[in-house]
Structure 1
C-alpha cells in the first residue's frame, strides 16, 4: 500500500472510530498500520513484536487482543479463524462495504486474497446449509489452497 493510500485509509479509520463514539488511539493506529502494510496475516503475538520494532515501545499481547477486538467490531480487521491471525483491509475496498467476505489463503506463503461476496451469491448456498442441518455463525468464508506464485515455484 502506497503512503498516500495508507494515510487516506488511516484517516477514514479514524472517522469510523469517531462514528462509533471511540477514539483512534495511537496504539490502535499503529496496530492497524502494521496490518495494512504487511502482505500476510499476523497473530496478536506477531503484532506485539512488530509494534515493538516500529515504535521502540512495547504493548502487551492482551492490549493487542483488545485493540483487534475493537477494530474487528467496526469492520476494519478480520480474524482468520483457520490461522488464528488477523488481516486489515482498506476502508475504500468493496470488502469493507460488505458484510460477507471470502478469504483465499495460501498454505505456502500465507498470502491472503480478499474477495467481496454479494448477498445474492451467498444466499444460493443457504439451501445447502439447511439440507445439511447446518446454521452458519460467521459472515466470512475461508478457503485454503495454493496461490499462483507458489504454484509456479512448485512446478
Structure 2
C-alpha cells in the first residue's frame, strides 16, 4: 500500500467514525491534493480530476468538496493564494494547533509546520497592543526551498 493509499484509507475511516462519508468525488479531490507537493486552486483540481479520473466536476462542487475536506481537517485553505493543500497531519488523531506554511516562491512546494502555542499567544498579545484582534493566526511565509536555491 502506498503512502497516499494509507492516507486515503485513514481519511475515509476518520470520516466514517464521525458519521461523514468520503464520497468518490471527495476522494478524487483529496487524492489530487495529496499527490501534489504544491497548493492547488479549485480550477487546477477540476483539471486534475478530468485528466486523472476522466471526471468532469463543476467549480461549485469542487468548492463544496474543499469546504467539506477543510471541516474534516483533511485540507487547509491558503488565504493569500486562495489555494488548497492537503493537511500533513492526516494520520494523527490529536489537534495540531495553528499551521505555518513555508511556500517556495519559485516551484510552489509547500511544507506545513505547527506554530507553538506560546508564539501564537505572543503574536496575539502584540496585535492586541496595536489595537488589532487576530482572526486567523495561520501563517503563510514566502520562501525559497533548498532545491530552487541550489539550482
Matches within 5 A, 1:72-151: 72-90=70-88, 91-92=90-91, 97-151=95-149
Inter-CA distance 136–19: structure 2 relative to 1 (3 Å threshold): farther
Q: CA deviation at 1:57?
A: 2.1
Structure 1: state its 5+ residue gaps: none
Greater displacement, 59-68 / 110-119: 110-119
Q: TM-score, normalised by structure 2?
A: 0.91
| Residue 53 of structure 2 corresponds to residue 70 of structure 1 | no
The 4+ residue runs of structure 1 with deviation greater than 4 A are none
* 2: CA distance, partners of 1:137 / 1:14: 30
**Partner SS state of residue 27, structure 1:** helix
State the Cα distance separating 1:4 from its structure 2 match.
2.5
Q: Deviations over 1:116-151 (max 9, x none)?
A: 122223212222111121111114111112222222
* Residue matched to 1:9: 7
Does the CA contact (< 8 Å) of 1:99 and 1:139 recur in 2? no
**What secondary structure, in the 3-state scheme, does the structure 2 residue paired with 1:114 have?**
strand
Give the number of aligned pairs.
150
Matches of 2:58 and 2:139, distance apart in 1: 30
Structure 2: distance between partners of 1:27 and 1:105: 27
Which secondary structure does the structure 2 equivalent of 1:124 belong to? Answer: helix
Once structures 1 and 2 are overlaid, which stretch shifts more, 67-76 or 139-148? 139-148
Structure 2 gaps of 5+ residues are: none
Query: What are the residue-to-residue correspondences of 1:5-44 with 2, within 5 Å?
Result: 5-44=3-42
Residue 52 (structure 1) aligns with: 50
